[in-house]
Structure 1
Amino acid sequence: MFIVLQILGIFAFLVFIFVSLLFLLATWLKNNSIIDIAYGPIFAFATIGTMIITKTYSALPIFMATCVCIWAFRLSLRILFKNIGKPEDSRYAAWRNKWMIEGKRYFLIRSYFQIFILQGIIICVVAMPIIVSIAAGDALLFWVVIPGAIIFV
């Protein structure tokens, strides 16, 4: 259990760095909807980064990381091509207009926590199977993963 918590901590730290940098980019672009495009790649980068930091190179985590990367970049490209050339998503634009009434500082703080940090927390929760597979290495029976791989394909 302690190993899982350590790996969750590393994963969460990497996610925090990515969403914080993304927040700075979104602030500069004045477009918070880039979090939607980056959602998948954050999973992929945090997964790969966690595997590198923990020096986990066994078959099961590599297999799961490969599946995560395929899913992440497919999702990202789909959202990117859907949103390319369009203004900020209407949900984020509505929040921007509503929160800016309270001032820019309020808008920035609210955006950071309600959009970016919240997405980071969701990513960490959804990524628990990845985190457990990194912690377990090949200790998990590979046959447990086969039904998931079939569903993935």
Structure 2
Amino acid sequence: MNVIQLLMLNAVLISIAMTLLWLLSIRLQDVSIVDIFWGLGFVLIAWATFAVTSETLRSSLLVIMTTIWGVRLATYLAWRNHGKGEDSRYKAMRDKRGDSFWWVSFMTVFGLQGAVMWLVSLPVQVGQTDETPLGIMHYVGMIIWLVGFLFEAVGDYQLAKFKSDPQVQSKVMDQGLWRYTRHPNYFGNALVWWGIFLVSASSSTLWLVVSPIVMTFLLLKVSGVALLERDLAGRSSEYRDYIRRTNAFIPWPPKCDQAGNIR
């Protein structure tokens, strides 16, 4: 099977999976299930590709890295969202679209996420067809992936622990990794995909860099940092103070005033 056939096969697989998920969302009246499936969709693509390509050290690494990342993310989101009903973003869309929401959601939510999933997963797909030996760049990619995974997982854990503490006084999480970046989980997510790209790439497939570029752009400008901060900054003066002293994405020590106090 050549690369084009592989990409087409996975496109069909994603289309079927997202269609079935959409039908389930209609039955459950809850589009939020698409967020839980996001990580698992990449796992599905990784293993489907592994099943039809030759097994190499690179392909095994890509499958393992993708599976660990995707299963952890899906498990965390399922736990976080359990019993909370449909996400407010989708509720607002449902209210706006009314009776037409059922078919609009197919294109604007499930279809769009499926297309993005196929695009971002290109290194996982194409990388498994590359049988060239691993070099320094690939091992650096593994380290970057590990750092990113830890940032994402630890950041999520710290935030969940913070929110579960009834004694906490501050309404803004500015401890642990959150002291150095307002979004350690999104920063870690971006690093994960830069790491996967580096593990997958060779001199002939550097074009796969489109994957981490797209993922980083989405996290910064579309579904991640920008979307969340429009909401939080509008309702909390404490969060606006947090914005002034803490980097949005790349970790960095918090800003201090002239007296050396953290602003």
TM-score above 0.5, yes or no: yes
Identical positions, percent: 32
Aligned position for 2:87: 89
Residue 133 of structure 1, CA deviation:
0.8
Query: Judging changes above 3 Å, is the alpha-carbon distance between structure 1 residues 143 and 10 closer, same or farther for their aligned structure 2 residues?
Result: farther
Residue 50 of structure 1, CA deviation:
2.2
Residue 140 of structure 1, CA deviation:
5.4
Aligned position for 2:54: 56
Residue 4 of structure 1, CA deviation:
2.4
Q: Which has the higher helix share?
A: 1
Question: Where do 1:99-118 residues align within 5 Å?
Answer: 99-100=97-98, 103=99, 106-118=100-112
Q: Is the 8 A contact 2:39 2:71 kept in 1?
A: yes
Question: Where do 1:4-153 residues align within 5 Å?
Answer: 4-52=3-51, 54-100=52-98, 103=99, 106-136=100-130, 138-139=131-132, 141-153=134-146
Q: Is the 8 A contact 1:11 1:47 kept in 2?
A: no
Structure 1: gaps spanning 5 or more residues: none
Q: Aligned pair count?
A: 146
Report the TM-score, using the length of structure 2 for normalisation: 0.53
Q: Is the 8 A contact 2:46 2:62 kept in 1?
A: no
Amino acid at match of 1:62: S
Residue 29 of structure 1, CA deviation:
0.5
Report the TM-score, using the length of structure 1 for normalisation: 0.89
State the structure with bigger RCO (CA 8 A, min sep 6), 1 or 2: 1
CA offsets per residue over residues 71-115 of structure 1, 9 Å max, x none? 001111111111111010000011111111xx3xx2222100100
Query: Judging changes above 3 Å, is the alpha-carbon distance between structure 1 residues 56 and 21 closer, same or farther for their aligned structure 2 residues?
Result: farther
Structure 1 consecutive aligned stretches of length 4 or more whose deviation exceeds 4 Å: none
Amino acid at match of 1:130: V
Residue 143 of structure 1, CA deviation:
3.3
Amino acid at match of 2:112: L
Q: Which has more radius of gyration? A: 2
Query: Judging changes above 3 Å, is the alpha-carbon distance between structure 1 residues 142 and 23 closer, same or farther for their aligned structure 2 residues?
Result: farther
CA RMSD of aligned residues (A): 1.5
C-alpha distance in structure 2 between counterparts of 1:56 and 1:24, whole Å: 34
